[in-house]
Each structure stands twice: as C-alpha cells, then as structure tokens.
Chain A
Amino acid sequence: MKIFFLTIFVLIFGFVGLFNPIRDGFQHIFLPIQVGLRRSAVNLKDTTQLFFNFNRIRKDNLNLISEIVDLKSQLIEAQLALEENKILRDQLELKNSGDFNGDLLLASVMGNPSDLSGGTVYISEGSHQGINVGDNVVVGNNLIGIVDEVGGTKSKVILTTSSRFRAVAKDLVTHTEGLAVGNFDTTVGINKILVGDSVNTGDVFVTSGADGIYFPGLIIGYVSQVNLDSAKPLKSAILEVPLSVGKLDKVFVILNR
C-alpha cells in the first residue's frame, strides 16, 4: 500500500514540476548515452541492411547481365532479320521482273564439313519445306548450284564450281553456247565452244535452259580467260563466279512444284 501512496505523492509533485530539475539532470547525464545507443543501432541496422542487400545487388547484377545478353541476342537477331529482309526484297523484285518462274524458298547455308573440296554445301531446308532433287539454288539472278540430295530438314547442294556441275551455258552478248563444267572446285570452265564462235574476256555466261535442268538466264560467271588451242577443234573459257559461297549466309531455292 505504501508504494501506491508514494506513487500518488510523486504524481502530485510531478504536476507542480517539483521533479523537473532532477529530470533535467538525469537527462543531461543519459542523453549522450541515448544518442550513442541510437547511433549504434542505426549503424548496426545499416550494416545489416547492407549485408542483406549484397545478395539483392548480386541478383540485380546477374539479372542485368542476363538482360544484356538477351538484348544483344535480340540485336543480332534484328540485324539478321534486316539482312534477310534485304535479301528477300531484292529477290522478290527479281522474281517480279519475271526472270524465272517458281516459288522461292529462303535457306541458310550451313557448309559441308565432310566435303573438303568445298564443292558442295548443305542448306537448312529440306523435303518438309518442299525441296526436291534438281531444284536450282540462286542468289539474286546468280546461279549458286543445284540440289543433289534432299533430307527432311536439310539438303545438299552441288555448287557451280564443283567438278560434278554440268550446265548448258550461253554467252549473254554473243549467244555462243558451251558446256559449263565445274573446274577443280574453284572456277567454272566453258567447254565445247566451236572455234568460230566468239567469246571475249568479261562476257557473261548464263544458263541457256536447253538442258532442261536449269532455268534460263541465271548467271554462271564472267569470262576471265579464253583458251584457244589451234590443234583442237574446240576452244574453252574459264569463268569467275560472281559470288563466293563461302561468304553467303542465305540462298534461295527455286521450287519445282
């Protein structure tokens, strides 16, 4: 009971402010301790938060790296799409000009590691996309080769430089005809040109279509050299192909449906 009376006594004197000097003195002593304790708590809290944030910062960093990789990938895809669009646009313009009939199918060049001569390449489309053996492969108006083997999702193309390539060709200017043959997988030779027929360096040879295998008017190459052996009844020429397949990413297959 004593403590209740003591409390009432303290409260009454508290109301009149009797204890204010004691309180001031007490606070004067303990205020620096309170400030120090508070500062320690804040520092500890900050340190703890920083410690926990390390994990979050690391996660953010990893997410950002992942996003950068995604964005770079998207950028590359966009650039590829841009190039592809350009190729498609060029090819579409050519197709609309009526140089050849047939649907065009865009395919990626995959190379052919098993053919060390470089006379054949694989392309990324096959019979599922409607490709058949004998389909012409072009870029623009330039003949790249002919489909030799067809799988479900990829096909093998014989290039114009392959020794297995054969096509009836004609000079675009002089209309001289000859047999275009792949020459050691580097150039194309035009054989069986009659001695009286005119062939000049720089002339363009295109497919004549007489063989029934190639569409007419597809560029095979430019004459770089004419061989005339007086002992032989026929002469020959060497063509340089306008496009290097090694540098091509995309080609078009003219589908024969």
Chain B
Amino acid sequence: MRKYILLIILNIIVVLLQSSFLGELFDYSYIPDFVLVFSFAFLLDDQKELALGNAFIGGIVLDLLNLKVFGVYASVLVVLIGLVYVLQKLLVKTLFFQSVMFVLAVTIFRWLFLQGSFKQALIGGVVTSLVSVFLYFVIKKVGNRFLNGSYRVFL
C-alpha cells in the first residue's frame, strides 16, 4: 500500500511538472511522458503489478487534470502497458526489443492524445524510452532497496 501512496504522490508531482512547467520551458516533443517512463522502468525491472498500477494512477491523475471523459487516459495507459507486457512475454524479451515497443507505445499514446505530427510523437517516444531505460538502471541500483523499506528510517 505504501508503494501505491508513493506512486500517487510521485505521479501528481511529475504530471504537474510535465504539463505546467517542463511543457512551457521546452518543446513538448522532447519531454518524456513521465507516467510511461516509470511504468516502462518497472516493466523492465519485471514488476508488472507496479507498472500497471503506475499506469493506472498516472492515468487517473491525467484524467483529473484534463477535461476529457474521465478514465480515458487511465484506460489507454493501462491497455498500452498491458499490451507491451504481453508482447514482451510472447515474443522476445531483450532490452532493445522492449525499448522499441516502448517507443511504439508512446508514439501511439501521443498520437492519440496530443495534437502534433507523427514525427513529434515519435521523437517523444524515443526520448521516453531512453529515459525509462536510464531509470530502470537507477531503480535496479537503489529503487528496489528503497521500495523494500531499506531506507525506512528516512521516511
């Protein structure tokens, strides 16, 4: 449960930063989708539950901050993460293949929800994928210990 509370706080922060701060500061194409970044990183780390949970929570936060039909973001994100998970399970599970699937997933997500060219969506996909791979290595180093409560004394 503590993990999910942390994810809720984390997603609220990153979605706010992404939509209101980074989106204004830089070209939106080059900003990764942080909800997907965390979900992909968890997928790479073989934490399916966390990946789907993060996609759902992040989607809900996006739904709360946007005016589309409530649940649309959450549904699309959960379906995309679910699809990526199934595909990587059925096909081959290498970092490169997973990264390619992440790129495709983000491109589809951006293409569906953001007004912009396919090229911009693709750039966003590549950036998101790269950041998730980086985050995966960070999680691998410290994240698991953090989520397992090794740093509980600091919380």
Q: Is the CB of A14 within 8 A of B16?
A: no
Q: Which of A14-64 contact B (CB under 8 A)?
A: 14-15, 17-20, 22-23, 26-27, 30, 33-35, 37-38, 40-42, 44-45
Contacts of B24 in A (CB 8 A): 38, 41-42, 45
A3 → chain B closest CB, angstroms: 5
Q: How many A-B pairs with Cβ below 8 Å?
A: 81
Judge if B92 is at the interface, Cβ distance under 8 Å: no
Pairwise interchain contact B78-A7, C-beta atoms closer than 8 A: yes
The interface residues of chain B lying within 8 Å CB-to-CB of A34 are: 16, 19-20, 65
Interface string of B41-73 (1 = CB under 8 A from A): 000000000001100100110011100011110
When chains A and B are docked, how far (Å) is the Cα of A103 from the Cα of B74? 97
Question: A9: nearest residue on chain B (CB-CB)?
Answer: B71
B56 touches A44 (CB 8 A): no
Is B25 part of the binding interface, using a Cβ–Cβ cutoff of 8 Å? Answer: yes
Q: What are the residues of chain B within 8 A of A6 when measuring CB–CB?
A: 56
CA distance A4 to B74 in the complex (A): 10
Closest Cβ of chain B: how far from A37's Cβ, in Å?
4
Cα of A26 to Cα of B61 in the assembled complex, Å: 9
- Interface of B with A (CB < 8 Å)? 12, 16-17, 19-25, 52-53, 56, 59-60, 63-65, 69-72, 74-75, 78-79, 82
List A residues at the B interface (Cβ < 8 Å): 3-4, 6-8, 10-15, 17-20, 22-23, 26-27, 30, 33-35, 37-38, 40-42, 44-45
